Amino acid sequence: MNRKALPIIGVMLAAMAAIGLAALVAWNQLAGTGHEQGVSRSGEALVAPGITVGGSFELINQDGQTVTQDSFPGQYQLIYFGYSSCPDVCPTELSSMAAALDIVAENKPDLAKQVTPVFITIDPARDTPEMMKDYVTAFHPRMVGLTGSDAAIADIARKFRVFYSKGTQIEGGFYLMNHSGYVYFMAPDGSFVTMFHGGTAPETMAEAITRYVSGKDG
């Protein structure tokens, strides 16, 4: 093996371990430590009593336009926090979100139109509107990519209780980001509906989306 590659591999492995730890920390913050608090239906996670998720924000979309929590009238939002340079987890989750919406559209096309997929970067230094536009359109034609200032991203991440941090910079200036990996489902009024664990199957996500949007939950 190339000796120069060893430090890079070590850093990447450490970053992956940190991502796992970040997910665990975020899980404990949101769901508490009891199993009964942590899991509801398959793929969904419960939030501990008294914990709020979501809130007001002002970000920039892939077309350079200002977007706030009021920019999705009548629309549920399926939201994921990540970054475009992510080598594996982020594209996997965004692909699952897109696949879930395609499943809903195949069975309930009018219902699917009521859901907007949203990708919010936690790496605004690299994820400019131009970068986000190229990235999100590769996953779904209606996906909205949001970026903003460091302060604006930190604010919305705090409101959604998303953990993220910059990893160690490696050769060539490249770096990974450590972050939690839930997919959030928000109501048209911006209130929290549910969230999905990372790795939730598109079919499971589609079933839940259909249930909530059609008002048949319960």
**Structural domain includes residue 84:** yes
Residue 41's pLDDT is what? 56
**Structural domain includes residue 218:** no
**Structural domain includes residue 68:** yes
- CB neighbours of 34 closer than 8 A, spacing ≥ 6? none
CATH, residue 125: 3.40.30.10
**Structural domain includes residue 44:** yes
Domain containing residue 44: 5-213
**Structural domain includes residue 13:** yes
Residue 133's pLDDT is what? 95
Closest-CA residue to 34 (of 15, 47, 43) = 47
Average confidence (pLDDT) per 10 residues, the chain, 218 residues: 44 45 45 39 73 94 97 97 95 98 97 98 97 96 98 97 90 89 95 94 97 83
Residue 42's pLDDT is what? 60
Q: Domain count of the chain?
A: 1
Assessment of whether the complete model's pTM goes beyond 0.85: no
**Structural domain includes residue 147:** yes
Pairing between strand 144-147 and 58-61? antiparallel
Residue 197's pLDDT is what? 93
User: What is the DSSP secondary structure assignment for residue 28, as one 8-state letter?
Assistant: H
Residue 189's pLDDT is what? 94
**Structural domain includes residue 208:** yes
Residue 142 structure tokens: 């209606």
Residue 51's pLDDT is what? 84
Residue 218's pLDDT is what? 52
